Structure 1
Amino acid sequence: MADDLNKGLEGVLVAESELSSIDGDAGRLIYRGYPIEDLARGASYEEVVYLLWHGHLPDEDELATFTESLNEERTVDEDVLETVKQLADAGEQPMAALRTATSMLSAYEPEGDADPDDFDATLRKGRRITAKIPTVLAAFERYRLGEEPVDPHPDLGLAANFLYMLTGEEPDDLAAETFDQALILHADHGLNASTFTSMVIGSTMADIYSAVTGGISALSGPLHGGANQDVMEVLMEIDESDLDHREWVEQANEEGRRIPGFGHRVYNVKDPRAKILEERSEELAADGEDKWYNYTTTIEQYLSEEQGLAEKGIAPNVDFYSGSVYYQLGIPIDMYTPIFAMSRASGWIAHVVEYQDDNRLIRPLSRYTGPEDQEFVSLEER
C-alpha cells in the first residue's frame, strides 16, 4: 500500500465520520442521517450546528439554550475590531482579514489554554468562534465602506443578524430564510480540503482556533472556495455584454471558455444544494430582479442539455446558484468565500472534535525522488 501513489489522496480512505455523507451518483447529501433537503427546508442553521456538534436535533429547550449561548458570544473585543479596521484600511482581502482576526480571537478566549482532551471546552470555544465570525466579517465590510460596525441584534438568528450587521437594516423574511438555508447547505461536506486541513491540525491536539484558522487558509485557495464569486463575475460580464445572454453562452462555448460552477470532485449529477438554491433564486427573482435567475437557468439548460455536459457527469454545483443568490441579497462579491467559511466553521469544529475523540496523529508518507549518494564538498571548495 505504501508503494501506491494517489495524488491529492484521490480515493484514499483516511478517516471514519458520522457527520456527513455524499452519494455523488445519486446527488444525495446527508448530515448525521438527515437529507439536506429536509434540514434546509425545515431547520434553522442553529439547529444544524447543534446536530453536527451534539449528534441529535435539539428539542425546543435545547435549541433555546443553545441559541442564547451563541447570541451571548457575538460581541468581539475592541482590540480585534481595531485590527480588522486596520486591515480594511490597508485594502486587505476579506479572507485574509478573517484568517488574521480568527487567529487573534484566541488571545481573548476566557478559558485560555484548556486541556485539549476537554471536548466540552473545545465546543465552547467553537461556539465563540462561530458566533464571532459574522461580527468580524460585517465589521470588515463596514470599515472599508468608511462606516462604523453595527452592534449585533439580540433578537435575530445568526443568519438574519449577519445581514443586519452588514447593512444596518433588518432583512425581510425571504432574505433571512434564504441566507439561513445557504448557511445550512455549506455547513459540512465530507472530507474536503479545508475540513481535512482542520483535522490534520486537530490531530496534533492543537487548539480549535488553530484548526479553524487553518481551515480558513485552505478554503481561501481558488481550487476550493471562491467559485461562486467566479460565477457572479461571469453573470455580470453577460449583463454588460451587447449580446443576448443565450448568444453570450454560445459564443463563450465556441471560444472554449470554461463556465465556473459546473462539475464537482464528488458529484456526477446536479448538486442537491444547487437545486435548493435554484428554488430560492427563483423566489428572489419573483420578489425583485429576475435577470440573474434567467442567466443561470439559460446557462444550465444550454450546457447541460444542448452541449451534453449532464451526460458526461458534469452538472451545476452549489456555487453555480449561490453566487447569484448572495448578489440578490446585497452581499459584496468578494465576501462570498468568507461567508462560506462562516458557515463551514461549524463543520470544521465538529470534525476536529470527532477525530480527537479517537485521535491518531495524521502522518502520511511521501516517496523520495531526489538524488542518492551525493558527495559533500566543503564551502571553501565549492
Structure 2
Amino acid sequence: MQKYETFERNALDEFIKLAQKTNKINSELYDRYHVKRGLRDLDGRGVLVGLTEIGEVHAYIVDEDDMIPVPGRLLYRGIDINDIVEGFLREDRYGFEETAYLLLFGNLPGKKELNNFEQLMCSFRKLPENFVRDMILKAPSRDIMNALARGVLALYSFDEEADNTSIENVFKQCIKLISCLPTLAVYAYQALSHYHSDKSLYIHPPRLDLSTAENILHMIRPDSKFTKLEAKLLDLALVLHAEHGGGNNSTFATHLVTSSGTDTYSTIAAALGSLKGPRHGGANIKVVQMFEDMKRNVNDWYDEDEIENYLIKVLNKQAFDKSGLIYGIGHAVYSISDPRAVILKEHVAQLAEETGLEDEYSLYMKVEKLAPKVIGESRKIYKGVSTNIDFYSGFVYRMLNIPPEMYTPIFAISRITGWSAHRIEEIVNAGKIIRPAYKCVARRREYIDLLMR
C-alpha cells in the first residue's frame, strides 16, 4: 500500500509539472494580439460589453481621451448611494429592504409598498421543512460560501417551476433567495461551528418582526442579543455591498450564465463561486488577517515609521502572505476614493469606541494614510490608490463579533440583490449568449500513432 501511495504521489507530481509547463503562454503574445486581459484597457478602463440601468460606478471623466480621476460615486438606479444612506439614517430606520426594492423594481417604494415588501421577505425567510436537517446538518461544509452554493442548488429540488425563466417566475425565485439566504448562511455557520469546532449548536428560527440585519445577529448569537447600533451598522454594510455595476466579477458571471438560458439557482450558485475568490468577495478576510499579522509584528501601533516599514515588507513579498498586496488598498475602478469606504468609515469610530477598540481603529487610520504613499513610491501605477470598502468591512464585522467564516457570506447576502436585478435585466432584454473571443496560439501539429511516439 505504501509503495502504491509513493508511486501515486510521484506520478501526480510529474503530471502537475507537465501541466504547468504545457499551459504557460508567452506573455509577449498578449501585447502582440492586443489582448485586453481582465477585459480592461491598458489605462484601466473596462471594455464596454453591455448596458445597464441598475448600478453606476463613477470614478473618472474623459477629456480628449485622457482619463481624469474624480472622487468615486456609486449610484443605485440613478440615485447617489450617499443620498440613500442619508435618507434612511435620518429617519432612524433600516435601509437594506428599501435598497433591495429599489434595485429590483427601479423606484423607491412608498411606505405601504415597503411594508408589503418587508412582509413578503419575512414570509420567505424560513427554509423548506427538513432542509436544515437533511442539507445543512448532515453534510456540514468547512467553507460557508461552498455551503451557500450547494444550498442554493439544493433549493432547485424544492421548486416545481425551477426551470421556468419567465420574468414572473424569476422575480418570485429571486425574492425567495434574497429572503432566505441569511438563514441558509447562518445555519451553515452553526453547523460548521458545531461539527468542526466542537461548539454548541444554535438554530434560532428567523423572526418575522426583525429586519435582515437584525435577523442575522439574532440567529448567529447564542443569546440572540444585539444593540441598535450594531444592527444599524450591519444594515449599512448590507446596503453598501448590494450592487456595484454590471462589470464586477460576480455580477458579470450572473449576466454570463443567465445569457445561456439556465435556471435561477444555477445562476446564483455561479455568482457565489465568483464572490468566494480572494480577489473579489474574500478580500475583507485578507484585510483582517493582514492586520492581525501587523499587530504581531509592529511593536508600537502609533509609530508611523514602524508601520511604514511593515507595509514596505508586504509590498516586497517579505511579510504576511508574501503576495505583495496590501489588502483593502486600491480598486480596479476607483482611484481617489471609494464612496462605500468613505461612508462606512464615518460610522466605524462610534462602534470602535463602544467596543473598546479605539487603538486598533487608530492603526487602521494610520495604514489608510501611509499605504497609498508606500505603493506610490515602490510601484508604477497608472492611477491613484485609496482604501476600498474591504478595508473597513472586515473590521466592522470583527467589532460585531461576527466570525471570519461569515465575512464573505454576508457580502453574498447583500450582493444577491444586485445579482437578481441584473439577471432579470438580462432576461428582459433578451441579449445574445455572451461569448467573447480567445485566440488560439498553439502551433498546429500532426497526430502521431501511439507506437510511433
Bucket of the pairwise TM-score, normalised by the shorter protein: over 0.9
8 Å Cα contact 1:285-1:293 kept in structure 2: yes
Q: Distance in 2 between matches of 1:174 and 1:312?
A: 36
| Cα pair distance change 1:143/1:260, threshold 3 Å | same
Comparing 306-315 with 266-275, greater Cα deviation is found at 306-315
Which residue of 320, 336, 357 corresponds with 2:428? 357
| Cα pair distance change 1:311/1:41, threshold 3 Å | farther
Paired residue for 1:103? Answer: 153
Paired residue for 2:138? Answer: 86
User: Does 2:120 correspond to 1:69?
Assistant: yes
User: Does 2:354 correspond to 1:287?
Assistant: yes
8 Å Cα contact 2:326-2:371 kept in structure 1: no
Shift of 1:194: 0.5
Q: Distance in 1 between matches of 2:162 and 2:282?
A: 33
| Cα pair distance change 1:155/1:186, threshold 3 Å | same
DSSP 3-state at the match of 2:71: coil
Paired residue for 1:204? Answer: 260
Percent of aligned positions with the same letter in both sequences?
33
8 Å Cα contact 2:329-2:372 kept in structure 1: no
8 Å Cα contact 1:292-1:324 kept in structure 2: no
Ranges in structure 1 where 5+ consecutive residues have no aligned partner: none
Residues 157-196 of structure 1: pairs in structure 2 closer than 5 A: 157-167=211-221, 168-190=223-245, 191-196=247-252
Shift of 1:333: 1.2
Specify the code of the residue in structure 1 equivalent to 2:205. D
Which residue of 317, 328, 332 corresponds with 2:388? 317
Residues 21-170 of structure 1: pairs in structure 2 closer than 5 A: 21-24=56-59, 25-43=70-88, 44-82=95-133, 83-88=135-140, 92-114=142-164, 116=165, 118-146=166-194, 147-167=201-221, 168-170=223-225
Q: Distance in 1 between matches of 2:82 and 2:257?
A: 31
8 Å Cα contact 2:338-2:386 kept in structure 1: yes
Q: Distance in 1 between matches of 2:296 and 2:437?
A: 50
User: Does 2:57 correspond to 1:16?
Assistant: no
Specify the code of the residue in structure 1 equivalent to 2:226. P
Give CA deviations for 1:237-286 in whole Å, capped at 9, x if unaligned: 23344601244522313424332100000001121100111112111012
DSSP 3-state at the match of 2:48: coil
8 Å Cα contact 1:41-1:181 kept in structure 2: no
CA RMSD of aligned residues (A): 2.0
Comparing 135-144 with 337-346, greater Cα deviation is found at 135-144
Shift of 1:361: 1.0
8 Å Cα contact 1:235-1:292 kept in structure 2: no
Ranges in structure 2 where 5+ consecutive residues have no aligned partner: 1-32, 41-45, 60-69, 89-94, 195-200, 316-324
Give CA deviations for 1:144-168 in whole Å, capped at 9, x if unaligned: 3331311001100111111111114
Residues 322-361 of structure 1: pairs in structure 2 closer than 5 A: 322-359=393-430, 360-361=432-433
8 Å Cα contact 1:73-1:131 kept in structure 2: yes
Paired residue for 2:371? Answer: 303
User: Does 2:281 correspond to 1:236?
Assistant: no
User: Does 2:341 correspond to 1:269?
Assistant: no
DSSP 3-state at the match of 1:218: helix
**Bigger Rg, structure 1 or 2:** 2
